[in-house]
Amino acid sequence: LMSDNKPRQRIDVAEAAALILARMPDWGSMRVPIDGAHGEVLRQTISAERDQPPFDRVTMDGIALRHAAIAAGLRRFRVVGTQGAGGERISVADNNSCVAIMTGAALPPGVDTVIPVERISREGELVTLEHGYQPAAGQFIHRRASDHPQGTPLLQPGTLIGAAEMAILTVGGSASVEVARAAAVRDEAHQVLQS
């Protein structure tokens, strides 16, 4: 009970935090280089500057082929080339062909499924699927924009910038970021410590 004998109303933690923040002084903001942002409080929205991932990315070493070929009963394929991460994309022209593919590579045009290397046997340029193995259409492909489409907010104002937030800022490509300006007493204390 309070001194006037009226019952005290209880509020939850989120409401209490909102009340405190609403009464805090605003010291403004400033731009700092990304490498000086750790431990600061973000004052801007950080959005994905491009789709994440920016292309359909292969998640297993193996072969890339058309699932329709497997659905049609094909189990043996001719390798038309090998594509690594960052390499030029190799097209597949028909159901009898496949591309040897490496983890991280962009999905080649004309294919929609990846078969892990552990599920095939290879003799020269011919590969055969493991007996009884039935792959799912679209498997082992990390689809374009499946993490974050371009423009998706990734960090909100008020976020304390730690290691994970630094990674997001670094990938974003900006050289600087807007953060909360600290109270003058903090700035003066910092200068004293550096002298």
- Looking at residue 33, its pLDDT comes to 95
- Looking at residue 102, its pLDDT comes to 97
Q: Which two tokens stand for residue 103?
A: 């983890």
The mean of the pLDDT values for the chain is: 89
In this predicted structure, the answer to whether residue 116 has a pLDDT above a threshold of 70 is yes
Phi-psi region at 82: left, alpha or beta (left = phi > 0; alpha = psi -120 to 50): beta
State the Cα–Cα distance between residues 194 and 188, nearest whole angstrom: 10
Among 120-124, 128-132, 173-177, the range scoring the smallest mean pLDDT is 173-177
pLDDT digits (tens, 9 = 90+) for 1-23: 445 666 778 888 888 888 887 78
Question: Parallel, antiparallel, or unpaired: how do β-strands 76-83 and 97-101 relate?
Answer: parallel
In this predicted structure, the answer to whether residue 94 has a pLDDT above a threshold of 50 is yes
Reported confidence tier of residue 170, pLDDT bands at 50, 70, 90: confident
Q: Would you list the DSSP string of 120-158?
A: EEEETTEEEEPTT--PPTTTTEE-TTSSB-TT-EEE-TT
- The answer to whether the Cα torsion of 6, 12, 18, 23 is positive or negative is positive
In this predicted structure, the answer to whether residue 184 has a pLDDT above a threshold of 80 is no
* For range 125-132, the mean pLDDT: 97
pLDDT digits (tens, 9 = 90+) for 66-81: 999 999 999 999 999 9
